[in-house]
């Protein structure tokens, strides 16, 4: 008798399952129809709707992101592509997504009311290994990022870690520290590439990877300009470990435990130990007499690091280990401009016509120093339209990052859409940079947004206009669409140095070397895997083999 009931019970279970699925789907369809109808009405604002999902407990769980993050972000059917601000729920977490030039501009304009403390703490703890005692200071800092602390905050001035750390960056990268830092870098990269020019013959030589050649020379130049000569001198493997750490960044940020990625965590330990060795050497050997007229010295390099020692040691919970984590984070940040310089040079050498145009431009501002080395009028270099367009298009195409904001003490108004306080807002640069409605794609759509084309940033005078036929470069009309440095009060303070670094490195390379990218490297793709996507300027998925020879000095 019992066996006779089994088929009946199985049938009932199947029917219940189908009924459950039907109910879920109907629930989803109603919410999605409401969401779509709401989006078509331009007069409806207020609280953003929740992006519809099928399974209540899972929410908009992005399973496909694990296999192809970029394709997921650009899928027209997912929450990152919503025309209006939208609330996204995933498991127990929720956040708001903002896209579209006008919405992004409004977000940046209102960023004065936002805090970055939770995200800085997350990155420092997970990626850079900041010890728990120092991390706890971020939890306690409710004083805000302004010059005056929030009313009611009891945080001592010395412990205003968010404000003081950011102000140290501003003084260094936008204030008095920028010019001496830039001067050292310009001297270093000029010397590095002239030394390479001497080592390479006038006949073609094979190199396995253009990106590594450029990246190594630029990284050494920046690190020595930042830290002085002793970080690399005392730690000869630091350059290799620096880029190994960078390749493993997503491993740390995803919270993968050390026993599942022992090699990645060993690399992090080595780079932090290297910073500690350098800083202990600086503490042992520095004296006030070593300070130059620009305020820097050979042991600490930039006064930036020397001053941060004093600043951090005055804070609760900080010791030399914690300072090493904070300072390595500042050093690592150079990776974006270095990688962007490599991509810029790749694009120039890949296109002979573009190479000829860039060379004609940079020749116009080339100088010859007393030592015979080629130098450049940097102010003039920064005004070259084609070279600037290559730089800007490289960042548009290769920068993949999540701009994150959180309203602190008041709700945030984005064009009458209200984002509640203490809620996370996410804006992917990839979505803004790949918006075909916002970008020039040519008269006949012959330049899709996923391809490199400098014409997006250039304007040519009409044929009837008298005078110059040269193009002009501008990003003013692209506000809210071209966002490689973020925007608002906390826009990347390193953007001024980054642009100079990328342009000067490219100008020196095309002036000193002929490079021929081999066929297998011309169409190298970006690394869009889960490990490679979302950390900033992307790495190539493979190598870029080339032939290189030194350019005849008589032709420079």
What are the tens digits of pLDDT across the range 256-303?
A: 999 999 999 999 999 999 999 999 999 999 999 999 999 999 999 999
What is the Cα Rg of the chain in Å?
Answer: 26
- Collapsing DSSP states into helix, strand and coil, what is residue 367? strand
User: Residue 331: how many CB atoms within 10 A of its CB?
Assistant: 20
Please tell me the predicted confidence (pLDDT) of residue 5.
46
Which residues does the chain have with pLDDT short of 50?
1-2, 5-6, 8, 555-556
Q: Which of 212, 253, 243 is nearest to 128 (CA)?
A: 253
pLDDT at residue 57, as a whole number: 83
Taking the CA atoms of 126, 129, 132 and 136 in sequence, report the sign of the dihedral they define: negative
The residue behind tokens 């960078």 is 246
Instruction: Give every CB contact of residue 477 below 8 A, 6+ residues apart in sequence.
Output: none
| Percent helix, percent strand, percent coil in the chain, to nearest 5 | 55, 10, 35
| Cα(95)–Cα(81) distance, integer angstroms | 14
Round to whole Å and give the CA distance between 206 and 352. Answer: 19
Question: Of the candidates 524, 520, 487, which has an alpha carbon nearest to the alpha carbon of residue 103?
Answer: 487
Q: How, if at all, do strands 93-97 and 425-428 pair?
A: parallel
Q: Within 13 Å of residue 362, how many CA atoms lie on the same side as its CB?
A: 26
Residue written as token pair 């001297």: 187
Whole-structure pTM value: 0.92
Give the tokens for residue 164. 């003081």
Q: Crossing angle of helices 495-512/352-363, nearest 10°?
A: 100
* Phi, psi at 297, each rounded to 5°: -150, 160
Q: Are 399 and 70 in contact (CB under 8 A)?
A: no
Asked if 210 and 544 touch (Cβ cutoff 8 Å), the reply is yes
As a whole number of angstroms, the distance between CA 452 and CA 459 comes to: 17
Distance CA 247, CA 243 (A): 6
**Rounded Cα distance, 153 and 140, in Å:** 10
420 DSSP 8-state letter = P
Listed residue (276, 278, 284, 277) closest to 321, CA to CA: 276
Instruction: Read off the DSSP letter of residue 495.
Output: H
List 361's β-bridge partners, or say none.
Answer: none
Please list, in sequence order, all residues whose beta carbon lies within 8 angstroms of the beta carbon of residue 370, skipping any fewer than 6 positions away. Answer: none
Which 3 state secondary structure label does DSSP give 487?
Answer: coil
User: Do residues 393 and 452 touch, judged by C-beta distance below 8 A?
Assistant: yes
pLDDT of 25 reads 53
**b/e for 348-379, b at 16 or more Cβ within 10 A?**
bbbbeebbebbbebbeebbeeeeeebbbbebe
Helix (H, G, I), strand (E, B) or coil at 404: strand
- Confidence at residue 6, expressed as pLDDT on a 0 to 100 scale: 47
DSSP one-letter string for 178-204: HHHHHHHHHHHHHHHHHHHHHHS-SS-
* Residues 6+ away with beta carbon under 8 Å from 118: 138, 406, 424
- Which are the contacts of 406, defined by CB distance < 8 A and separation ≥ 6? 114, 115, 116, 118, 119, 422, 423, 424, 425
What secondary structure letter does DSSP report for 114?
A: B
Structure tokens at 373: 């080395």
């Amino acid at each position: 008798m019992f066996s006779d009931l089994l088929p009946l019970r199985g049938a009932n279970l199947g029917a219940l399952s189908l009924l459950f699925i039907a109910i879920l789907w109907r629930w989803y369809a109603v919410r999605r129809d409401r969401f779509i109808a709401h989006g078509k009405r331009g007069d409806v604002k207020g609280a953003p709707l929740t992006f519809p999902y099928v399974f209540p407990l899972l929410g908009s769980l992005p399973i496909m992101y694990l296999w192809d993050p970029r394709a997921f972000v650009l899928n027209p059917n997912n929450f990152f592509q919503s025309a209006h601000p939208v609330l996204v729920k995933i498991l127990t977490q929720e956040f708001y997504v903002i896209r579209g030039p006008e919405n992004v501009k409004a977000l940046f304009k209102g960023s004065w009311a936002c805090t970055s403390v939770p995200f800085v703490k997350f990155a420092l703890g997970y990626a850079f290994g900041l010890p728990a005692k120092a991390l706890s200071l971020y939890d306690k800092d409710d004083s805000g990022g302004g010059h005056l602390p929030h009313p009611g905050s009891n945080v001592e001035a010395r412990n205003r870690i968010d404000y003081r750390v950011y102000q140290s960056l501003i003084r260094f990268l936008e204030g008095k520290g920028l010019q001496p830092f830039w001067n050292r870098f310009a001297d270093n990269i000029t010397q590095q590439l002239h030394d390479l020019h001497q080592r390479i013959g006038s006949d073609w030589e094979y190199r396995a990877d253009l990106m590594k050649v450029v990246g190594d020379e630029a990284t050494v130049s920046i690190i020595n300009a930042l830290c002085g000569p002793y970080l690399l001198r005392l730690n000869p493997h630091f350059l290799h470990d620096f880029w190994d750490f960078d390749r493993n960044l997503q491993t740390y940020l995803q919270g993968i435990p050390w026993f599942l990625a022992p090699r990645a965590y060993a690399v992090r330990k080595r780079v932090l130990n290297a910073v500690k060795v350098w800083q202990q050497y600086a503490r042992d050997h520095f004296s006030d007499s070593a300070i130059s007229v620009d305020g820097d010295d050979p042991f600490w390099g930039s006064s930036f690091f020397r001053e941060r020692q004093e600043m951090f040691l005055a804070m609760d919970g900080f010791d030399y280990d914690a300072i090493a984590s904070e300072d390595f984070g500042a050093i690592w940040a150079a990776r974006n401009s270095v990688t962007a310089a490599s991509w810029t040079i790749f694009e120039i050498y890949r296109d002979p016509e573009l190479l000829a145009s860039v060379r004609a431009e940079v020749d116009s501002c080339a100088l010859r120093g007393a030592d015979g080395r080629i130098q450049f009028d940097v102010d003039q270099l920064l005004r070259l339209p084609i070279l600037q367009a290559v730089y800007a298009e490289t960042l548009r195409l290769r920068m993949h990052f999540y701009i994150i904001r959180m309203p602190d003490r008041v709700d945030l108004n984005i064009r009458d859409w209200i984002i509640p306080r203490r809620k996370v807002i996410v804006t992917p640069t990839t979505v803004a940079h790949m918006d075909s409605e916002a970008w020039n794609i040519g008269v006949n759509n012959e330049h899709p947004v996923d391809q490199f084309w400098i014409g997006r940033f250039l304007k040519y005078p009409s044929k009837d206009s008298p005078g110059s036929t040269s193009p002009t470069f501008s990003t003013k009309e692209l506000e809210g669409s071209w966002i490689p440095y973020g925007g608002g009060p906390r826009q990347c303070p390193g953007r001024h140095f980054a642009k100079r670094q990328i342009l000067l490195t490219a100008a020196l390379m095309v002036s000193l070397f002929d490079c021929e990218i081999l066929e297998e490297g011309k169409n190298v793709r970006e690394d869009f895997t889960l490990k490679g996507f979302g950390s900033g300027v992307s790495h190539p998925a493979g190598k870029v083999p080339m032939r290189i020879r030194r350019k005849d000095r008589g032709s420079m």
